[in-house]
Amino acid sequence: MEQVMTENGSLWEKNRVWLLAAFLGMITFICIYGIRILDFTYDDWLLNGGDLSQHYLGWCFFRNSDWSFPAGLMDKIAYPNHVSVIFTDSVPLLALFFKSLGKFLPDTFQYFGMWGILCFGLQGAFGALLIRHYKKDEVTAIMGSLFFVITPVMIYRMFMHTALGGQWLLLFAFWLGLERNHLSPVKKVVLWTFLGFLCGSIHLYFVPMCGLIMCAFLLEELIQKKNLFLCLLSGAGYCAAVVTTVYLLGGFSHDHQLDAGGLGQFSFNLNGLINPQGWSRLLPDLPLYGDGAGEGLAFLGIGILILLVIEGISFVIFFVRNKTKENDGERSGSTQERYGNGIAYILIGVLSLVVSFSHQLALGSRVIWEIPYPDKLISLWGMFRSSGRFIWPVVYALTLCAVVMWDRIYKKKRAAVIILGLLLMVQVWDSFPQLKMRNDEFGREQIYESGLTDEKWSEWAGNKEHLVFVSYIIENQGLLYSLSDYAVKNDMTINNFYLAHSAARSDINKALEEELQHPQKDTLYIYKIEDENLCKQYGMEYIQVDGIIVGTVKSGTPQ
C-alpha cells in the first residue's frame, strides 16, 4: 500500500504542472462562457444563426444519416448525394465518435460546449509543457500557461469557427519539436503520425500549419543529428495519417471548389501583431486592408506586448554590454539542447509570415507590394485563402518567448512571478469587453424560436420525407437553418446546405434538375417569394406559408 501511494505521489508530482494548467484553462472557459452550454441536451444556443448553426446542423444530419463507406459521409444534407462531414466544420473526430454511440445518446445531443472546455484545458496543458521545456519553476509554467489560454486568436475563433478553437494542436506540434531529444525514435514517429490524424479529423487548416512546424523542427534535427531516415519517416507518418484520415472521412468522395477566390482579402497585415481589432481598451484599432481582414487577427495581448518590449530593450542593453550570465536553477542540459532550435524558430517565423501575407503585402489599408507569383501557385494557394490564419504559429512562438525570457531579464524570482501575474491581469482587463460580450451571449439562457410556425408544417411532417430547395436559399441563413432544423427534427432530408468549398455543388445542381423533371409526392418544394415566377414552370400545387412558397405534387398525379 505504501509503495502504491508513493508511486501515485510520484505520478502526481511528475504531471501536476500541466494538470493544474489544464484545470485553470477549464476554469477560464467557465468564467468566460458559463456552464449552461456544457449541457449536452441544450441546443438553443446553437440554432440562432451563424457558423455555429452550420456546425451543429451538420452534426445532426450526419447523425441521422445511415452508415456508409467512407464513414464520414452523410446522405441527408445534400440528398440524394453523399457529402463529407468535413465540409460542415462539425469537428469530424467528435462527430464520428458520438455517431457511433448514437443508440445511447438522447434525441437532442450537442458536443460543442464540451469541445470548447476541452480546447481551453488542452491549451493550458500544452502551454505549461512548452514553458516547462525551458523553465524549472512550476509557478511560472502554470501562470504563464494562462497567456496561451486567453490569447485573442484562440478566443476569437471559439464558437465562431468552432473547430479552429483547437489551436492546442499547434502547441502540441511545438512540444513535439522541442521535446524530440527526449523521445525515442518510435515514439517520435508515432506522435507525429498521431498529430497528422488529429489535424485531418479536426480541421484541415491545421494540416499545413502543424506540417510547417514539423518540417522546421525535422530540418533542425537533420542538421544537428544527420538522421535523414528518422526525419523522413516522421514526415511520411504525418502525411500518411492526414491522407488516410481525410479519405476515411469522405474528403475525396465528391467534388469541391479548391480555389474559392479572394486570396489576399483574408491575409495578415503588417500591423497585425499590434493591431487589437477590438481586443484592447488601451491601444487603438489600426486600419486594415481586405473584406476579411479579421482572418489575420494576430494581436498578442497587451501583457505579452509589454513583456516583449521590456525584453527587447533589455536584450539591446545586454548585447551592447556583451555580458552573459546564466540564471540559477534552470533546467539541466546543454545550451544546444535548451536553446538550439534557432533554425526551427526562424523557419517557422519566415514561412508563417510568407504564407499569411499571401501575394499581397498590406500595411494598414494599402497594399504596398503585390508579389507576382505564378497564377497556378495563387490558385493552389486559394485552397487556404484565409491565409491570415497562418500567423498563429508566430503568435504562439512570441508568447512562449515572452514568458520564458522574462525571468532571465528580471533576476528576482519572486518579483518576476508577481509582475508576470500583474501583467496577466492587465491583459484580462484590457480585453475584458470582448470577454464580457461572450459571457453575455453564451452565459445567458437562449431560447430558439423557429421561423416555421404555421400548422401546415406539422401536417406535412407526418407524410413527407424530403425538402427540395428550388430557390437558392443558402445565403438566407435564417430560412436555411429553420428549414434544416425542421428536417432534422422530422428525420427528413434536404437537397442543399451551406457547405465549405462549395462541396458537391455540381452534383447538387444536377440532382435538382433531375428532381424537378419528376416531382415526388413525398417531397416539399421550397421557393422564395421573389421567385414566384419559377412556380409557373412546374405543375405543382402551391401554398404560401411563413413567407415562403411550398410546392407539392398535385393529387392524382402519377409517379
Distances (CA, A) of 519 to 450, 528, 543, 548, 554: 27, 18, 16, 19, 10
For residue 372, the model assigns a pLDDT of 87
For residue 337, the model assigns a pLDDT of 45
Instruction: Give one word for 410, left, alpha or beta, with left for phi > 0 and alpha for psi -120 to 50.
Output: beta
- Tally of helices (H runs) and strands (E runs) in the chain: 20, 9
366-370/81-84 β-pairing: unpaired
Mean pLDDT of the chain: 91
Q: 478 CB contacts (<8 Å, ≥6 apart)? A: 49, 451
Q: Is the pLDDT of residue 3 over 60?
A: no
For residue 329, the model assigns a pLDDT of 46
List, for residues 291-336, the tens digit of each pLDDT value: 888 999 999 999 999 999 999 998 888 777 765 544 444 444 444 4
Q: Is the pLDDT of residue 522 over 50?
A: yes
List, for residues 442-468, the tens digit of each pLDDT value: 999 999 999 999 999 999 998 999 999
In what helix (H) or strand (E) does residue 366 lie, and over which residues does it extend?
strand 366-370
First-last CA distance in the chain = 76
Q: Is the pLDDT of residue 110 over 50?
A: yes
Q: Is the pLDDT of residue 344 over 90?
A: yes
For residue 556, the model assigns a pLDDT of 58
List, for residues 130-183, the tens digit of each pLDDT value: 999 998 899 999 999 999 999 999 999 999 999 999 999 999 999 999 999 999
Exposure string of 241-264, with b = 16+ CB inside 10 Å and e = fewer, is: bbeebbebbbbebbebeeeeeebb
Q: Is the pLDDT of residue 339 over 80?
A: no
Q: Which residue has the cell 503568435?
A: 395
DSSP state of 282: S
466-469/523-528 β-pairing: parallel
DSSP string, 160-198: TSGGGG-THHHHHHHHHHHTGGGS-HHHHHHHHHHHHHH
List, for residues 414-424, the tens digit of each pLDDT value: 888 999 999 99
- Name which of 558, 495, 556 is nearest 524 in CA terms: 495
Helices (H), 203-291: 206-225, 228-248
